[in-house]
Every structure is written in C-alpha cells, then in structure tokens.
Amino acid sequence: MRTGATMGGEIARAAGRLKSAGVPDPRSEARLLMGYALGLARETVFGHADRPVTPAEAKRFESVVRRRVSREPAARILGCREFWSLPFRVTAATLIPRPETETVIEAALEAAGGRERAIDILDLGTGTGCLLLALLSELANARGLGVDASVEALEVAAANASALGLSDRARFRLGDWSKGLRQRFDLIVANPPYIPEDEIGGLEPEVARFEPGLALSGGSDGLGCYRALAADIRRVMAPGARIVLEIGEGQGDGVTAILGAHGLEVTGRRGDLSDISRCLVAEFTG
C-alpha cells in the first residue's frame, strides 16, 4: 500500500486504469467501486476524498477494480442492478436489466387496461424477473408467471420476488417459451434474445464476454426467438389479451411480419429515450 493513501487518490489512480481499459465514465465507475468495496454511501465517497484508506480496504478496492478493468460489468461485480427504481440481484446466469427495457414496462402498463384490474401476466424468458416483478409492483391486483429455460436464472428471479415482497403473486417455471402451459393470460411480456449470432463477438466486451449467450443469441438473423414464441402464443392468450415485446434496432418490420403470420396484429410501437423503436404491442384481431 502507498504511504498516506486516501480515498480520493485511490479513486484517481483507478479512474486512470479504467480509462485506459476503455471503460466509459471511468471516474464515476471508480467512485462506484470504491463505495462498494468499502461499504460506503455515495455521499461519503463524494464528500471525503481525504479519508485514509487502510491496507485491507485498498486490497478490496484493487480486487474489484481489476475485475472492472477486464470489462466485467459493474452490475455483475456489485451483484445488483436497479430497474424501474427497484433493486434486482444479477448473476452470471442472467441478463443485466437495461434502461431501454423499461419501455416494455411503460407499454405494458398502458396495455393492462387499468391499474386495479385483476389480471394474469406471463413473462417469457424472465431472467432476473425484472419485467414481471416491475409490473406486479405497479399492478396491485395482478398475478404472474415467469418462464425461463435456465434453472439458475429462475433461482435468481425467485430470490428477487422474495426480496421485493412479491412472492405471493409471482410464480416461476422452467420451460421453453409457452410450451406446456395450460393457463391463459391477459398480458404477455417478453424480452427475447435478438442479437444475430455472428454479431455477438463485436458487441462491447461487457456484453460479449460476460452476458449469458442463451439470453443474447437470436439465431442467424436475430429473429429466431420471435418465430418460436409466436408459433404458440395465441394458445395462451385470454380474450382481449395483449403481448408486449422488446425488439432490437431495425427489427420492427420483421417481427411485425412474424406476428402477422400467426394472426397477431401490431397495434402499437414505442421508442426508447434514443428514439429507437424498442417495443411492439400486439393482439389477436381474428
């Protein structure tokens, strides 16, 4: 340890290393990691740059900085990511929730037909459970089922439901999209994998190296999961049900065509904060 090490000095040195590694906003990231490593509130990290850092603290900080320099996502290091103002545990088995996915929540709340309705929600490819649990936090009389192909992801989703006090209204099941389900649902949400297989290696390292491939790959054209999902989805849609899907940039027309081939009409599109078409709302109109 350097003699007279302080929190501000350690943050400055770490920020330099993070910048060299290509990490965006390196100083903010260094502060975040310092707070995590030392168990300090954000305000303490900002307001006490001269605070001495002990050898044990310096060692803990170095450990997490080294991980971030390798481009491991900060959310994976911290084990938590905020989504819809709620804390969600994340692990190597789950896709890290992203701000643009909140577009699905906004559209789904509009499609729900009123905040007081007692509706059944299906979340396909639930991962951390962020879509289902965010919706249940807003819809007090709703219940929901989250389906995922990963046992490990389902364990994380169930833990998140418990931590958020929503276990009484949320269930989770191992499955392949809607196959095997007998219940019908009023609202269906999904954020399917939609990255074309040959493009995954070119994504930012945080995604390409650390996110679960099962949650990324949409096949050769990125639309494979939409085809699989659409093939069976009408069977589990209650009368008047709506489905809300996240899509990748430029995939709106392709997904609309896939849904249309199975009798579903896209009745709404929603863009994210970057004005990229991010979400489709569809219903059975036959």
120 contacts 183 by C-beta, under 8 angstroms? yes
| The token pair that represents 115 in the structure block | 């905040």
- Closest by alpha carbon to 108, among 285, 284, 286, 283? 283
- Angle between helix 130-138 and helix 151-163 axes, rounded to 10 deg: 20
SS3 245: strand
Stretches in the chain below the pLDDT threshold 50: 1
pLDDT tens digits, one per residue of 5-18: 999 999 999 999 99
* pLDDT value at residue 84: 97
Q: Cα separation of 6 and 255, whole Å?
A: 53
pTM for the model stands at 0.92
What proportions of the chain, in percent to the nearest 5, are helix, strand and coil? 45, 20, 35
Half-sphere exposure of 195 (CA within 13 A, CB side): 18
- pLDDT tens track for 258-285: 999 999 999 999 988 888 889 999 998 8
| Distance (Å, whole) CA 79 – CA 81 | 7
| Signed CA dihedral, 136, 139, 144, 146: sign only | negative
Quote the pLDDT of residue 3.
57
Q: Which two tokens stand for residue 194?
A: 């939609």
